[in-house]
Chain A
């Protein structure tokens, strides 16, 4: 499919060890060494046969309860986790922003951290230096750039991290929990940026913990529960159904 940005076919993911079984982590180690199949007693699939096609230029929100598999799915697409079965294809430069500032060190200056985070995301030092102006503009860090990161507010840290991630000029952007830090004006600025990013014909996959955010930028929403696609469609109808089911589930106990 030529116009596919993200394409998943029959993707299943089983974790290599079960967190509930204390000894399994050791067993995993031994099994890897001996080249035995990992997980003798299957731990169950966290992602169950997902087919998903995101076309170039689409903006898609991902919703679902805690433990639905949203972050796992993003990690599979980003290539951080290996999938157990199926096929994952991404076309174009992908920037996964799963946790803002992964690898930030509080004792180092903002500038040092820009280069560390950039290197982690695979942006070369030359590219970073060239785009430093843009990063500074986006993050509005100003003179604080040379201060240790521990003196930054969480909003400043988030802005700096997002500025670095966006400086790679990705074709496909995946964002998780980016809006949970920072204040209302940061949230608004990020939403503006994402809308603009999408408007320029780029692809966006966005995990939304706040249903309001999903509706603001993404025409299409995917609802994930227990590692399965529950619903995939126009944002307003998916959100409506999601709210209806969630109130149904919540009410019988009361």
Chain B
């Protein structure tokens, strides 16, 4: 396992080149470039804002700030998983004709969205600091830690999805359904505090609930999450990362034959 991590580190140049390739391909031919990337989330955010403050009212003060503290994180994870379903098939010629670690394209697919995420997220932090808290809050210092855990969790979930995508094309049809379900059962547009006591054990199963909860505490509440919550989230993210690699590595030797 450690040697795999070491290998991933040695292959950082390849991961970087592949990530830049993804970004260049994406922006090469579109005149409006980045705008399209943010068009979808801004539209979704607008609709959620209207629906949950005017129609089905969710009792959260400054609802926009709450929504923003989790939405882009969710967006990053769900896009990472969607990309993972076809990333290995997309790199079929490479995998069949060159000897290189096949986790590199999966990592690159995740990292190529990191820049977009960071741009959006920096704006979110500024908006929340300026108009929700009216000042910078000390708890924001925890954001880099949350970001690292978010990456570990995303990669940990994306690797098995990518491996499965090679064997079952059904994954491409299944994942959007799963993501839609996940969007509603993860506290993104509502707070986990609104969840009835009886359902809480079920919520604890969802790894994303822990991640989103931590972001909302840090950004919206401006508070440091309980040590136990941070410990649980760290354990889940690191565990998912290693488990994801373990599953992926079991398939690694046969990707070139099957893909």
Contact = CB atoms under 8 A, between A and B. Distances in A.
A80 B256 contact: yes
B250 A33 contact: yes
A202 B234 CA distance: 52
Contacts of B21: 105, 108, 112, 116
B167 A119 contact: no
Interface residues of A, number: 35
Interface string A97-109: 0110011010110
Contact of B25 (A96, A107, A119, A124): A107
A33 B254 CA distance: 13
Given A28-B254, A108-B24, A119 B94 contact: no
A115 interface: yes
B254 A102 contact: no
Contact of B17 (A17, A75, A107, A116): A116
Nearest to A27: B167
Nearest to A78: B99
A75 B98 contact: no
B36 interface: no
B98 A102 contact: yes
A79 interface: yes
Nearest to A102: B97
Given A25-B167, A26-B167, A124 B98 contact: no
Interface residues of B, number: 29
A16 B91 CA distance: 20
A102 B25 contact: no
B29 A102 contact: no
Contacts of B14: 119-120
A32 interface: yes
Contact of A119 (B17, B24, B29, B99): B17
B107 to A, nearest CB: 13
Interface string A141-183: 0000000100000000000000000000000000000000000
Contact of A82 (B24, B167, B253): B253
Nearest to B26: A107
A73 to B, nearest CB: 14
B25 A16 contact: no
Interface string B131-175: 000000000000000000000000000000000100110000000
A193 interface: no
A102 B250 contact: no
Contacts of A188: none
Interface string A21-36: 0000110110011010
A121 interface: yes
Interface in A71-125: 75, 78-82, 96, 98-99, 102-103, 105, 107-108, 112, 115-116, 119-122, 124-125
Nearest to A99: B97
Contacts of A186: none
Interface in B93-146: 93-100
Contact of A80 (B13, B17, B97, B168): B97
A30 to B, nearest CB: 9
B24 A112 contact: yes
B28 A108 contact: yes
8 contacts: A15-B257, A16-B257, A96-B98, A105-B21, A107-B29, A108-B21, A116-B21, A119-B18
Given A16-B254, A17-B258, A99-B96, 15 more contacts: A15-B257, A17-B257, A25-B167, A28-B254, A28-B258, A29-B164, A29-B167, A32-B250, A78-B99, A99-B97, A107-B29, A108-B21, A112-B24, A119-B17, A120-B94
Interface of B: 13-14, 17-18, 21, 24-25, 28-29, 91, 93-100, 164, 167-168, 247, 250-251, 253-254, 256-258
4 tightest Cβ-Cβ pairs between the two chains A and B: A29-B167, A102-B97, A119-B17, A98-B97
